[in-house]
């Protein structure tokens, strides 16, 4: 079975060659992902379905598109302040977004999350 080409460890300042394809040497393993201690618990199931239906009944248009004068139906329930950044899973922290606006916002949140993780 072919072996991965040796590459330097991705840990800052480490130049040890790694041959297993993981990107990290034995001295610098990646920390295991774990949920933050103060993370907000997500609402799920029928309660979430009811909250989603109430949101779209109250405001059926995409909040971001409205800001730019476009008229687009909202299809996704989005947290204005993400739960990962300390937002609450409540009615005052949600908005309806269309798929395109949600994708753009999610990408920005993911980049911020990666920056927090690396920093």
The pLDDT score that the predictor gives to residue 2 is: 59
The pLDDT score that the predictor gives to residue 1 is: 52
The pLDDT score that the predictor gives to residue 101 is: 97
Cα–Cα distance, 40 to 45 (Å, whole number):
16
pLDDT in tens, 14-45: 989 998 888 899 999 888 877 767 777 788 99
Q: Give pLDDT < 50 ranges for the chain.
A: none
The model carries a pTM of: 0.67
The pLDDT score that the predictor gives to residue 19 is: 87
* Three-class DSSP category at 83: helix
- For the chain, the C-alpha Rg in angstroms (whole number) is 20
Cα–Cα distance, 97 to 63 (Å, whole number):
6
Cα–Cα distance, 30 to 67 (Å, whole number):
41
């Amino acid at each position: 079975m072919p072996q991965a080409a040796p590459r330097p460890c991705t840990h800052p300042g480490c130049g040890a060659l790694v041959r297993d394809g993981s990107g990290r040497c034995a001295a610098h393993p990646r920390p295991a992902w774990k949920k933050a201690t103060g993370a907000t618990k997500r609402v799920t199931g029928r309660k979430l379905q009811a909250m989603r239906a109430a949101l779209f009944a109250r405001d059926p248009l995409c909040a971001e598109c409205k800001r730019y004068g476009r008229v687009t139906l909202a299809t996704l329930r989005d947290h204005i302040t993400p739960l990962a950044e300390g937002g609450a899973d409540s009615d005052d922290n949600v908005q309806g977004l269309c798929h395109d606006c949600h994708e753009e916002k999610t990408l920005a949140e993911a980049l911020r999350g990666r920056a927090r993780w690396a920093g």
